[in-house]
């Protein structure tokens, strides 16, 4: 059997949000018993993820420059230069031969360092549009993979899908329709790894205005901002709505398993996990996201009648209330969208990307 000491070393570089961290951890979980020795690099935000922090990641100081002033861009470039030097030193010291990047400006110094050192590079694009950090190096790397089918000009890209956590992967095709028994509605609201003001207190104020006959069969699991925790709990209590309110949902897999409908941002990981679990979704893309990527992420699922797309203004002006009344009074449409979403899932994404990594590095189990 091949051993890890045979210099099969790879660095996973991930940004500090769930959309970058979760696929990296999924691949790590799949490959950790292989002959590969896996290192991690991230920025300070990544340490907020307990699982990633336990893997002793190398912390790099890098800054994005999109949308910044000229002076801020100069500072970002100086920081980048220092980061590249540190990345070169790290790759050479650890004798790492392959770098796997999941997007985000955090990967830029490591990918640049790897190319300068003539090391192998694999990039994965999680979103429906190629991000700046990936686009910069896309033509020059060994393997290019994506969660979505990208524009035609990006040839030689392997569409593997979005790797999701193993505990969620187990939910795929797991008899989703049982959540609609007796017309009970389990509503799951997730604000994303960075939280969301619109999907926190503002949304709870709309939900409690639903008709009594809907509220009686409604059970809400709601992730809110910490400053809204007590207030949102009180709002639901006064409306006699059964609920659990958290600032962070630890057992996300069990909540996805029970959910009849999920409301969330349109991050790549959230969309992929909802599809794996086979849950109809209402997506609220982040306003002014870079290249409008969250809207584009959700658009495919809207076209296939697996999800709906609304915006934050729909919460403020009350349109969300009208919308929820309509779909909660038609459970059959939830069943249809659940089936369609499940059919769009790509449960083999983790295995396919892992195989590409192993083939490139000549690794084995």
Radius of gyration of the chain (CA): 21
Please state the domain extents for the chain: 9-163+347-362, 168-344
- Yes or no: say if 256 and 273 are a contact pair by the CB < 8 Å rule: yes
The model's pLDDT over 141-183, given as tens digits with 9 standing for 90+, comes to 999 999 999 876 677 899 999 999 999 999 987 755 556 666 7
**Residue 37 near residue 6 (C-beta atoms within 8 A):** no
Q: What is the CATH number of domain 9-163+347-362?
A: 3.40.50.2000
Q: What is the pLDDT of residues 217-246, one digit of tens each?
A: 999 999 999 999 999 999 999 999 999 999
Cβ neighbours of 289 (radius 10 Å): 16
Q: Domain spanning 168-344 has what CATH number?
A: 3.40.50.2000
Q: Take residue 190 and report the two structure tokens written for it.
A: 């997730």
C-beta separation of 297 from 267 below 8 A: yes
**What pLDDT is recorded for position 67?**
54
CA 292 vs. chain centroid, Å, equals 16
In sequence order, what DSSP letters do the residues of 209-240 get, joined into one string? TS-HHHHTTEEEEEE--GGGHHHHHHHHHHTT
Domains 9-163+347-362 and 168-344 are alike in CATH topology: yes
Q: Report whether 92 contacts 110 (CB < 8 A).
A: no
Is the per-residue pLDDT at 6 higher than 60? no
């Amino acid at each position: 059997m091949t051993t890890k000491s045979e210099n099969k070393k790879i660095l996973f570089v991930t940004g500090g949000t769930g959309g970058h961290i979760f696929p990296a951890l999924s691949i790590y979980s799949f490959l950790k018993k292989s002959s590969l020795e896996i290192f991690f690099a991230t920025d300070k935000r990544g340490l907020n993820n307990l699982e990633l922090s336990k893997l002793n990641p190398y912390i790099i100081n890098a800054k994005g420059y999109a949308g910044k002033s000229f002076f801020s861009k100069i500072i970002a470039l100086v920081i980048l230069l220092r980061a590249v030097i540190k990345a070169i030193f790290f790759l050479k010291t650890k004798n790492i031969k392959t770098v796997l990047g999941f997007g985000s400006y955090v990967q830029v110094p490591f990918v640049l360092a790897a190319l300068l050192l003539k090391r192998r590079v694999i990039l994965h694009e999680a979103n429906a549009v190629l991000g700046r950090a990936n686009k910069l190096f896309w033509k020059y790397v060994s393997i290019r993979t994506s969660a979505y089918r990208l524009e035609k000009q990006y040839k030689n890209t392997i569409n593997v899908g979005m790797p999701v956590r193993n505990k969620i992967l187990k939910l795929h095709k797991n008899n989703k329709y049982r959540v609609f028994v007796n017309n009970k509605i389990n509503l799951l609201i997730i604000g994303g790894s960075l939280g969301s003001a619109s999907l926190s207190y503002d949304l709870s104020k709309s939900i409690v205005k639903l008709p009594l006959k809907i509220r009686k069969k409604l059970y809400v699991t709601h992730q809110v901002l910490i400053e809204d925790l007590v207030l949102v709990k009180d709002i639901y209590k006064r409306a006699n709505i059964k609920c659990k309110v958290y600032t962070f949902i630890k057992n996300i897999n069990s909540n996805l398993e029970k959910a009849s409908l999920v409301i969330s941002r349109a991050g790549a990981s959230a969309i992929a996990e909802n599809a794996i679990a086979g849950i109809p979704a209402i997506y609220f893309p982040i306003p002014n996201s870079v290249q409008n990527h969250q809207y584009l992420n959700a658009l495919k699922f809207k076209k296939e009648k697996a999800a709906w797309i609304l915006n934050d203004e729909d919460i403020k002006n009350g349109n969300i209330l009208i919308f929820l009344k309509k779909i909660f009074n038609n459970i059959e449409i939830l069943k249809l969208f659940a089936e369609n979403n499940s059919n769009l899932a790509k449960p083999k994404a983790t295995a396919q990307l892992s195989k590409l990594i192993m083939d490139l590095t000549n690794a084995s189990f």
